[in-house]
Amino acid sequence: MIRNYVKFAFRTILRNPLFSFIHISGLAILSALIAISITILTIGFQAVKAATANPVVSSKTDG
């Protein structure tokens, strides 16, 4: 069954190369934007968490 899906995908790419390129590049750009957004949100959250932490408590638990 998966073999049929793969064959269909390759035939579609070969029949409509411009259409396929637009869709594949759009998915790649969207995936990159989502990954960058998650990274920025994570770093921002960690920065706020570190800035609001009590340094005395943090130094006692660091080891």
* Residue ranges covered by each domain of the chain: 2-50
Mean pLDDT of 27-54: 93
Q: What is the pTM of this model?
A: 0.66
Task: Give 13-32 pLDDT, tens digit per residue.
Answer: 999 999 999 999 999 999 99
Residue 13 buriedness (CB in 10 A; 0-12 / 13-18 / 19+): middle
Model confidence at 59, pLDDT cuts 50, 70, 90, reads: low
Q: Report whether 45 contacts 37 (CB < 8 A).
A: no
Give pLDDT, residue 38.
97
User: Is the pLDDT assigned to residue 51 strictly greater than 70?
Assistant: yes
Gap between the Cα atoms of 23 and 58, Å rounded? 48
